[in-house]
Structure 1
């Protein structure tokens, strides 16, 4: 079948879209991806046919009025006609209405692939800029939640990334309509990364706690800095790997204020192929998220990356993180937004003899269960069911 994926961001990179595209290709499907880019050009990336669409300011305005992008809609219609698209697969909530209108016009099924809990994300994502605050006055939590429920009722299938995400659809959407497909590690890609010996050498004399990702306020990095202040060893290093912006600068100022700046390293943004080197340089990897509706209903890909490289983890007690780590025994859990409890767990891990054993448990769980070979089977089953429905 010919599948059109709708992704209103530049592509690549997007780990999940790539993984889904590759597995569907292997099933014999032809994948087209509409993404932000140049002026209506077509290119190929690892067998995926990318249709670049230039962003429209008019679309941005209309989206804030009614969650619809008329300029993008025209491009979607053109792609459906030109390439005889048979299924629409929309990545994330913002573009579902645009995709749904096109899908219904051409009588093709539509899948809403909800990587994030977008209504909840409006509360905790973003920054302190005036533009962001003005945007949140228009795109409020209540508006987004109402929109999400309307779209969930009208699309044919829904994909979420973790079982806890089902709670917001309970008693509203039939669970048979929803598939849980987690953003786990693609084992076939792991061996393609070369470990940078220079990174390992740079940090070999320290006990390294490492966080990889964004610096949003919901990520719990302020808690981490405060916990670092209460650790027992000056040999501890906190590696923060990710692109710095104004929220990262706030974290840095907090580290200076608390007198731990020399123990914290901000690497800045690193190429994706360098990320495994920083994981391998780590003694313990962190997912210190604060509790919110968003973090309680999603799961970060980084958790499975850490486990795949045999690293023990220290995570906060948000539901999906606690469930997985407790189930496997691959690390410790601290009370979110509680620097005293986090520092206690950090001090404990510095002296533990069982860190290697924890890392191996995580690795075995990834090899046997939390990997894309297992999860992708659910995606294949979903598409086969849709295909069968089209034939009947």
Structure 2
């Protein structure tokens, strides 16, 4: 039996989307091998939940990745992954190559004649993401490098080139599919949407509470969980806090997660400028067993993303996680977030990048919390009973491979 070879420039099983796809295919009696970089202290080859993990190279680092990104940008090939995939093809009988995200599209395409089919899986609108990811960088050398090699216009051309070349493309949301069709005149029949829902069993994380020292039951807790970045809209939430605490004396904003040094410094400066040190808590990382309890116990969980061509064409896993937690949800008006929340009446929506509207919605929650609890029930029902879960979404991926 031949393998489906998933290629990803990330750690496995840490990449949630890749892990869910690989697990779903193995559960459908497919053989899957994930080809990914070998980082320090990782096993070179192992099996995780039936998925063969083949780690290439040795002691992969962010510095090495940065150099390889430049090479890929100029020559449309990543030599590290090219030779790694080549070795994997010699060692294993791989029938399909499933390439994760745009930076590896050029490298993956070089193996078109070596396998039965190549598939491109776009996790996000990568060219537009480049506009926001690095916007708070301070190092001038890095900014110059990004201007030359991680230029959004350059990568938009690559996106068009490879979306036209690949016969099968997986998109993370319907908005991304429509963007490719309208911008590049891509044939819709070769695009399939497979989103970032969670398995129903994920809801069990919220059944068993664990000890946590973050959320105080006496606080009106506004909680964000996830990575920090310029596109996440955390600055919007911070800027809203001065008005919020005037009306809600016990309000506190909890930021669970981390970001780069530049991003965290920028956010902490915004906190200082607004004199909100007492009301904004940079919690850092917490194990997910603890995070699930934090989500559940928070007064409101927020996804305050800025609305741009990056965030309007992707969707975070945590949206569906929060919906499973039965806690109140406040999201920005990014298209996918707004579409799902309004479709199921599963939370509140504020105008993206508008801290005044964020404030307005938080005060509405404060005054009407009991009346709004129906939204948490709607959210739970949507993920458990109305198809917004990975159990049903993954069927599309399995059918896709069966049809190939």
* TM-score interval (norm. to shorter): over 0.9
Q: Partner of 1:366 in structure 2?
A: 383
Q: Partner of 1:390 in structure 2?
A: none
The structure 1 segments of at least 4 consecutive aligned residues displaced by more than 6 Å after TM superposition are none
Provide, for residues 83-135 of structure 1, a one-character-per-residue CA deviation record: whole Å limited to 9, x for no partner. 11000111111111111112x13142011111111011110113413354123
- Identify which of 167, 177, 193 aligns with 1:156: 167
* Alignment pair present for 1:291 and 2:307: yes
TM-score, structure 1 normalization: 0.93
User: Is contact 2:211–2:290 with CA below 8 Å preserved after alignment?
Assistant: no
Question: Structure 2 CA distance, aligned partners of 1:295 and 1:182?
Answer: 14
Q: Tell me by how many angstroms 1:15 deviates.
A: 1.2
Q: Partner of 1:214 in structure 2?
A: 227
Gaps of 5+ in 1: 387-392
* Alignment pair present for 1:381 and 2:399: yes
* Alignment pair present for 1:173 and 2:186: yes
User: Is contact 1:195–1:274 with CA below 8 Å preserved after alignment?
Assistant: no
Gaps of 5+ in 2: none
- Identify which of 31, 45, 49 aligns with 1:46: 49
Q: Tell me by how many angstroms 1:202 deviates.
A: 4.3
Q: Tell me by how many angstroms 1:341 deviates.
A: 1.1
User: Is contact 1:112–1:157 with CA below 8 Å preserved after alignment?
Assistant: yes
- Identify which of 322, 325, 332 aligns with 1:309: 325
Q: Partner of 1:124 in structure 2?
A: 132
Distance 1:382 1:13, change over 3 A: same
Q: Tell me by how many angstroms 1:66 deviates.
A: 2.2
* Alignment pair present for 1:356 and 2:357: no
User: Is contact 2:175–2:312 with CA below 8 Å preserved after alignment?
Assistant: yes
Say which is worse superposed, 109-118 or 60-69, in terms of deviation. Answer: 60-69
Count of residues paired in the alignment: 385
User: Is contact 2:97–2:115 with CA below 8 Å preserved after alignment?
Assistant: no
Q: Tell me by how many angstroms 1:192 deviates.
A: 5.1
Question: Structure 1 CA distance, aligned partners of 2:202 and 2:355?
Answer: 36
Q: Tell me by how many angstroms 1:377 deviates.
A: 0.9
Q: Partner of 2:94 in structure 1?
A: 85
- Identify which of 255, 258, 268 aligns with 2:271: 255
Q: Tell me by how many angstroms 1:67 deviates.
A: 2.7
